[in-house]
Each structure stands twice: as structure tokens, then as C-alpha cells.
């Protein structure tokens, strides 16, 4: 079975990637026990103090044991505890995941909704001014730092027009309208930059379609250019775009860290940045691993979606 072999291979790659990512994160954050204790104690700590703390935290055991403990804990849903406050990382993360999730989800959705029509326009009209304008807008959008766009949007819509709140977050359960209002500016500022990057991929994917024989066939049987592209191009272009959108997720997630900081949103990103400034390595280690695992998981799902989009994988080839 072609499709089973395909899924099995993807699953194996996903597992190996998770393993590799966890080793990398662990190696950076926790491989050398003495340094962890030294960082916690800060400058001026004596070697005896460092050794004592290392022993107290169980950091003097071999790295392999601690790695196995960390990974084993995560598989059971235990992401460790903060070295400073003793709070469990899961407790810290759980209310924040929703904030980041909404931000990333809506931003990705909005960027696709902007990028697909604009990219199609840029492809079809690439020799005349509408295409040129669309491509130029994408170039400009790519050059703008998301946090700068965020500051500009705050200045206009929050400070100037007073339509929307400048920062902060209200949970969905408290007030839906307030929740939405607080998310608009962060989502838009994250989405426009991502959309600009996507437009270029959409454009080249559709330019490819325009030169395909099946597009010419569609035109020859009487489809007009735009419907032909929608009917016979979208699915084919999606084959290459789905991968791109999967890869984009990593940059949206990372962009969210910055945007959360601009708008003071209590998401995973701001927790991560707080932990970095306090050098709370346990939190950093587990949150970074969580984010990386999410990216790998999404890319795994994206890979699987090929089997659904591309009939060449879904069906058996008959002689």
C-alpha cells in the first residue's frame, strides 16, 4: 500500500525530529549541571554553594539520566518546575496557551485569506500594473518588521482613532467582544507581514499553473482565465502551498512571541521572555521544546494532508 508506506515514513521522520529537537534543547539548557546552578545563584557564588545546589536539585546526576527524566516527564504531561519559584511549568503554561493559540490561528488564517487572492492577481496580471502593484506591496510588506507595523497600528487605531485597545488581553470567557477587540491589532500586525511572504509563494505557484498544459486545456474548452485558475489551479497550487504554510507556522509562532511583547499579551511568548530575563532555564527549556514540538507536529500533519490533496498518493496506480 503506497499510502501506508508514506504515512509510516512521515511518522518515523516526525519521531526522529522530535528526538533531535529535544536533544538539542537539553544540550543547550541543561547538559552542564554546574553552569545551571551557577546561573541560578548568580555572580559571587562559591564553588561549594554551586555544588550544594546542584546536588539539591539533582543536577549532579549523569546528563543521560536527567534527559530521560525530562523527556519521560513531558510524555506524562509533566514539564518540570521552575528553578526559582518552584511553580510547575504546566501550571504556568496552561492559561497562556490559549492566548498564543488564538493569536497564531487567526493570524495564519487572515494571512492566507489575504495572500491567496492577492497572489493570484499578481500571477495573472504580472505583465500589467495590477500585478506590479500587488508584487510591490508584497515586497514592502516583507520588509516591515512586524513589531513596527504593530506600533504603527497602535498609534493609528488605539491612540489616534481610539477604536481599539492599545494592549492587554481579556479571556474569551469573560467577554467575547472585549476578547475580540483586544486580539484585532495583534492579529492584523502579525498577519500582514506573513501575508506578504505568502503572496510571493502563491504568485509563483500560480505562475507555474499558468504554464501548465492542463491550464491551457481548461482555457481551450471554454473556461475564462480566472475561473480556470480557480477550478484547475487552486488544488494543484495547494500542493506546493500547503508545505509553505506549514513552514510559515514556525515564523508565525516566533512572530507571536514578539507581538505578545508589543501588546503585553499574557501568552507563551511573554512567559518565555520573562523566563529568559530571569534566566529560569527549566521554563525556557520546556517552553522552547513545546513550541518546537508544535511546529514539528503541524508539519507532520501537513505532510499527511498531501495524501488527501494529491490523488496520485491516495489511489493505487493501475497498470
Partner 1 sequence: MSLLQVTDLTVSFGRRRAVAVDSVSFELGQGQRLGIIGESGSGKTVTALALMGLLPETAHVTGSIRLAGRELVGLPEASLAGLRGDVLSMVFQEPMTALDPTMRVGRQVAEVLLLHTADRGGSARARVIDMLGRVGLADAERVADSFPHQLSGGQRQRCLLAMALINSPDLVICDEPTTALDVTVQARVLRLLDEVLTAEGAACLFISHDLAVVSQVCTDVLVMLEGRIVEAGPVARLFSAPEHPYTRGLVATARIDEVPPGERLPTVEDFYPREGAR
Partner 2 sequence: MRRLALWLGAALVALLLAMALLSLVWTPYDPTLVVAGQRLQGPSAEHWLGTDAMGIDVFSRILVGAQTTIVVGVVSVSIAALLGVPLGMLAGQAGGWVDEVVMRVTDIAYAFPALLLAILLAARFGASPVTAMTAIGLATIPSFARVTRAGTKQVMSSDFVLAARASGTRWPGVSLRHVLPNIAPLIGVQASVTFALAILAEAALSYLGLSTAAIVPTWGKMLRDAQSVMFNAPLQALWPGLAIALAVLGFNLLGDGLRDLLDPRLREVS
Please give the residue ranges that form the binding site for partner 2 (CB under 8 A).
13, 16-17, 20-21, 24-25, 28-29, 35, 39, 139-140, 142-148, 151-152, 154-155, 159, 247, 250-251, 253-254, 257-258, 261-262, 272-273, 275-277, 279-281, 284, 288, 291-293, 295-296, 299
Kindly identify the residues of this chain, within the stretch 39-58, that bind partner 1 according to CB under 8 A: none
- Provide φ and ψ at 88, rounded to 5°: -75, 145
Instruction: Return the one option of partner 2, partner 1, none that residue 69 interacts with (CB less than 5 to 8 A, by type).
Output: none
Does position 162 bind partner 1 by CB under 8 A?
no
Q: Which residue has the cell 499510502?
A: 3
Closest CB 90 distance from partner 2, rounded Å:
19
Instruction: Return the one option of partner 2, partner 1, none that residue 235 interacts with (CB less than 5 to 8 A, by type).
Output: partner 1
Closest CB 122 distance from partner 1, rounded Å:
15
Residue 162 gets the label, from left (phi > 0), alpha (psi -120 to 50) or beta, of left
Q: Which is nearer to partner 1, 145 or 227 (CB)?
A: 227
Kindly identify the residues of this chain, within the stretch 128-157, that bind partner 1 according to CB under 8 A: 128
Using CB under 8 A, which of 100, 189, 236, 248 touches partner 1?
A: 236
Does position 222 bind partner 1 by CB under 8 A?
yes
Q: Which is nearer to partner 2, 112 or 275 (CB)?
A: 275
Q: What is the dihedral of CA 94, 97, 79, 254, to 10 degrees?
A: -160
Closest CB 301 distance from partner 1, rounded Å:
20
Q: Which is nearer to partner 1, 84 or 223 (CB)?
A: 223
Q: Which is nearer to partner 2, 193 or 228 (CB)?
A: 193
Using CB under 8 A, which of 97, 204, 223, 274 touches partner 1?
A: 223
Size of the site for partner 1 (CB under 8 A): 27
Eight-class DSSP state of 229:
I
Closest CB 218 distance from partner 2, rounded Å:
19
Q: Which residues of 139-175 are buried (b: 16+ CB within 10 A; e: fewer)?
A: eebeeeebbebbeebbeebbeeeeebbbeebbeeeee
Judge whether 41 and 50 are in contact, CB under 8 Å: yes
Eight-class DSSP state of 155:
I
Q: How many residues comprise the chain? A: 319
Does position 213 bind partner 1 by CB under 8 A?
yes
Measured between alpha carbons, how far is 80 from 82 in angstroms, rounded to an integer? 7
Q: Which residues contact 268 (CB under 8 A, 6 or more apart)?
A: 93, 96, 97, 99, 100, 256, 257, 260, 287, 290, 291
Measured between alpha carbons, how far is 299 from 293 in angstroms, rounded to an integer? 10
- Provide φ and ψ at 81, rounded to 5°: -125, 150
Eight-class DSSP state of 233:
I
Closest CB 210 distance from partner 2, rounded Å:
10
Binding site for partner 1 (CB under 8 A): 127-128, 212-214, 216-225, 231-232, 235-236, 239, 309-312, 315, 317-318
Amino acid at each position: 500500500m503506497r499510502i501506508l508506506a508514506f504515512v509510516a515514513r512521515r511518522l518515523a521522520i516526525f519521531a526522529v525530529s522530535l528526538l533531535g529537537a529535544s536533544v538539542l534543547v537539553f544540550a543547550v539548557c541543561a547538559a552542564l549541571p554546574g553552569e545551571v546552578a551557577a546561573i541560578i545563584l548568580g555572580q559571587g557564588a562559591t564553588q561549594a554553594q554551586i555544588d550544594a545546589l546542584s546536588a539539591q536539585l539533582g543536577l549532579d546526576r549523569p546528563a543521560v539520566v536527567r534527559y530521560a527524566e525530562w523527556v519521560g516527564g513531558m510524555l506524562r504531561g509533566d514539564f518540570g518546575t521552575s528553578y526559582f519559584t518552584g511553580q510547575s511549568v504546566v501550571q504556568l503554561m496552561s492559561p497562556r496557551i490559549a492566548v498564543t493559540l488564538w493569536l497564531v490561528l487567526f493570524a495564519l488564517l487572515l494571512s492566507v485569506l489575504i495572500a491567496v487572492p492577492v497572489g493570484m492577481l499578481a500571477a495573472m496580471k504580472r505583465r500589467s500594473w495590477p500585478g506590479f502593484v500587488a508584487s510591490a506591496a508584497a515586497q514592502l510588506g516583507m520588509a516591515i518588521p512586524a513589531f513596527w507595523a504593530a506600533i504603527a497600528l497602535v498609534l493609528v487605531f488605539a491612540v489616534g482613532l481610539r477604536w481599539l485597545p492599545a494592549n492587554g488581553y481579556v479571556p474569551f470567557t469573560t467577554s467575547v467582544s472585549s476578547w475580540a477587540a483586544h486580539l484585532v491589532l495583534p492579529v492584523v500586525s502579525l498577519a500582514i507581514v506573513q501575508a506578504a511572504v505568502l503572496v510571493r509563494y502563491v504568485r509563483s505557484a500560480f505562475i507555474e499553473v499558468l504554464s501548465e498544459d492542463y491550464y491551457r486545456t481548461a482555457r481551450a474548452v471554454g473556461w475564462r482565465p480566472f475561473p480556470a485558475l480557480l477550478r484547475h489551479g487552486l488544488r494543484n497550487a495547494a500542493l506546493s502551498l500547503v508545505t509553505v504554510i506549514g513552514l510559515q507556522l514556525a515564523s508565525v509562532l516566533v512572530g507571536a512571541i514578539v507581538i505578545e511583547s508589543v501588546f503585553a499579551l499574557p501568552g507563551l511568548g511573554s512567559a518565555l521572555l520573562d523566563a529568559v530575563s530571569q534566566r529560569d532555564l527549566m521554563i525556557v527549556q520546556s517552553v522552547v521544546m513545546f513550541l518546537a514540538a508544535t511546529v514539528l507536529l503541524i508539519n507532520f500533519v501537513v505532510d499527511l494532508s498531501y495524501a488527501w490533496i494529491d490523488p496520485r498518493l491516495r489511489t493505487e496506480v493501475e497498470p
